[in-house]
Chains A and B, each alone.
Chain A
Amino acid sequence: MLEIKALNVAYGRVQVLFDVSISVPEGELVTVIGANGAGKTTLLLTVSGVLRPQSGEISFEGEGIDSLRPHEIVGRGLGHVPQGKELFPAMTVLENLEMGAHMVKEEDEYRRRLERAFEFFPRLSERARQRAGTLSGGEQQMLAIARALMAEPRLLLLDEPSAGLAPIIVDHLAEIILDLNRHGLTVLLVEQNAFLALEIARRAYVMESGRVVESGDTRDVLESDLVRRAYLGI
């Protein structure tokens, strides 16, 4: 569904990604793990069209998207929950969700999507009239995911959803991500928290200093010396 081939990305003269190739088949939950600064966020921002690659190809459902602008890429069915959530803090939870579905014209369709979002995240319906900026960290993360889902993407990019959250909330989030995947959503999950990522993903890529250094079935990646040493501490 998403094919990234030999991607090179630079900020000015500093190159951040080197020949990164990643494949996300339809219906799967693929993870990219790596330390801070490995280039994971850069990778996702390039897929979304916020950053422009120096070279390489990105195709989504068989069509090249590397020259499209972010709103066109979202329009193709690709959602992105960024690191740091990037909510609209002075707007209510409801308004944030409404913005997520801004391309929906029919009121009935909007209602249906809203109900679905509240089914996945009942907590958000309790907080509907509250300003997004006043939510707890876990609730903000849920709102960020729910906002992206309002566009009904077929592929969701998730950037460090566990960052800064209590372990119990991370577990809850992991369940939600798995549940979304079971409902047919393809997911590319970027994580520093290797435990979480490797627990729920089928395929994994390991990034280091802008390069993919390991990839394969999650079980194989778990077994590799590199990952055991660097991320799991065993």
Chain B
Amino acid sequence: MSWDVIGQQLWNGLLNGSIYVIFAAGLSLVFGVMRVINMAHGELTMLGAMLLFTVTDLVGLAYFPGAALVVLVMALAGFLVNRVTVRPFLGHSELVVILSTVALSFVLLNGSLVVWGSGPKGVEKPFNEIVQVGGVYITTAGLLLVGVCFAAVMGLYLMLTHTKLGKKTRATGQNLLGARLIGINTTAIYDTTLIVASGLAALAGVLIVLVSSATPNLGQPLLITGFAVVIVAGMGNVAGAVAVGLFMGVTEALFGQFVSTYYRQGYLYVVMIIVLLLRPQGLFGRK
């Protein structure tokens, strides 16, 4: 085996891993703060990609303003996701919220198939030079993807640890009743959490099109991978999801290259099962 092949797979893994990181961070944020498993998270990412296709290809916006517009609109849509599919069902069994977000996921997926059809849609990239580093081929669009993912996750981390809103959000996640009794408006915190998570999901969507194409079917496999990442990291642990997302992306690429492309996604689940057997609370989770 050659070092170039390993290097190329490390780069490919980094691209996928960056998407996993930003996707899982949003999924984990919602679970950590609200104890809600958002089954529609993948569809929010898919909508990000499809809407970007629409505003660039059909409306004619350039990539950057189009992406900014899509992320903004999808973030605001997070408010509706909370008010329509989550908030009315809180206080019932957790299963009810899971089912209502599953319902949303189906509505969005099938609605998108009707609107856009099932074929892949390419989006014009802002730049797409290929750079050769050693024997590894790197695209500038890929570099943009990695950079934006890390900036976004860093921003999320700083918001959660250094701003008052972020601290109130963490407090609400750690103890809902305690937060309410010291006067935190937890309804507003839940709204904001889904706004941020939905914006992050859409950001993943507009970044995915930098390295592959937009299709209404891209949300489902991403959700499955996202769950593997979140569970291995420990449910609700955002920082852990970042580390595990990267690890999963890179090792999955190496597995695909050297072991079996066919069992690539199976690999992630084998890792998940092993971690759950040895450490049921996840690698970074607390009991």
Query: Which residues of chain A have a CB within 8 Å of any CB of chain B?
Result: 48, 50, 69-71, 73-75, 80, 82, 85-91, 95, 98-100, 102-103, 147-148, 150-151
Q: Chain B contacts of A74 at CB under 8 A?
A: 181-183
Q: When chains A and B are docked, how far (Å) is the Cα of A50 from the Cα of B185?
A: 12
Q: How far apart sit A233 and B258, CA to CA, in the bound complex (Å)? A: 77
Q: How far is the CA of A145 from the CA of B156 in the complex (A)?
A: 31
Which of B167, B168, B180 contacts A70, CB < 8 Å? B180
| B residues whose Cβ falls under 8 Å from a Cβ of A | 164, 167-168, 170-171, 174-175, 177-187, 286
Residue from B177, B184, B286 in contact with A102 in the complex, judged by beta carbons closer than 8 Å = B184
Taking the closest CB of chain A, its distance from the CB of B72, in whole angstroms, is 27
Q: Is B178 in contact with A88, judged by CB distance below 8 angstroms? A: yes
CB distance B180 to A87 under 8 Å? no
Closest A-chain residue to B186, C-beta based? Answer: A71
**Residues on the A chain within 8 Å of B174, using CB:** 88-91
Whether A80 lies near B167 (C-beta < 8 A) is no
| Chain A residue, CB-CB nearest to B172 | A88
Ranked nearest first, the 8 interchain pairs of A and B with the lowest CB-CB distance are A74-B183, A86-B178, A88-B174, A70-B180, A71-B185, A71-B183, A80-B181, A88-B171
Chain A residues whose CB sits within 8 angstroms of the CB of B168 once the complex forms = 99, 102
The smallest beta-carbon distance between B50 and chain A, in angstroms, is: 38
Whether A99 contacts B167 by the Cβ 8 Å rule is yes
Asked if residues A147 and B167 are in contact (CB atoms below 8 Å), the reply is: no
B206 smallest CB distance to A (angstroms): 33
A88 touching B184, Cβ below 8 Å: no
> Secondary structure at chain A's binding surface: helix, strand, loop or mixed?
loop
With a cutoff of 8 Å between Cβ atoms, the chain B residues found around residue A71 in the complex are 180, 183-186
The residue on B at minimum CB distance from A103 is B183
What residues of A have a CB within 8 angstroms of the CB of B164 in the complex? 102
Q: Is the CB of B184 within 8 A of A99?
A: yes
- B183 touches which one: A50, A70, A87, A88 (CB < 8 A)? A70
B164, B174, B185 — which one has the most chain A CB atoms within 10 A of its CB? B174
Q: Which residues of B contact A69 (CB under 8 A)?
A: 185, 187
In the complex, what distance in Å separates the CA atom of A145 from the CA atom of B62? Answer: 56
Smallest CB–CB gap between A124 and chain B, Å?
16
Residue B182 contacts which of A89, A91, A95, A151 (CB distance < 8 angstroms)?
A151
- In the complex, how many angstroms separate the beta carbon of B28 from the nearest chain A beta carbon? 15
Contacts of B177 in A (CB 8 A): 50, 82, 86
CA distance A48 to B167 in the complex (A): 22
Is B170 a contact of A147 with CB atoms below 8 Å? no
Residues of B with C-beta under 8 A to A151? 182-183
* Chain A residues within an 8 Å CB radius of B182: 74, 99-100, 102, 147-148, 150-151
User: What CA separation (Å) do A80 and B180 show in the bound complex?
Assistant: 10
- Residue among B175, B185, B187, B286 having the largest count of chain A Cβ atoms under 10 Å: B175
Expressed in whole angstroms, the minimum distance between the Cβ of B135 and any Cβ of chain A is 45
Residue in A73, A87, A103 whose beta carbon sits within 8 Å of that of B178 in the complex: A87
Known contacts A71-B184, A71-B185, A75-B183; is-contact A95 B178 (Cβ 8 Å): no
How far apart are the CA atoms of A75 and B187 in the complex, in Å?
16
Task: List chain B residues, Cβ under 8 A from A88.
Answer: 170-171, 174-175, 178-179
Across the interface, name the chain A residue whose C-beta is closest to B161.
A95
Whole-angstrom CA separation of A144 from B242 in the bound complex: 33
Can you report 13 A-B residue pairs in the complex whose CB atoms are below 8 A from each other? A50-B180, A69-B187, A70-B180, A70-B181, A71-B186, A80-B181, A82-B177, A86-B177, A86-B181, A88-B170, A88-B171, A102-B164, A150-B182
Complex Cα spacing A147 to B182, Å: 8
- Complex Cα–Cα for A48 and B168 (A): 19
- In the assembled complex, the Cα of A151 lies from the Cα of B181 at a distance in Å of 11
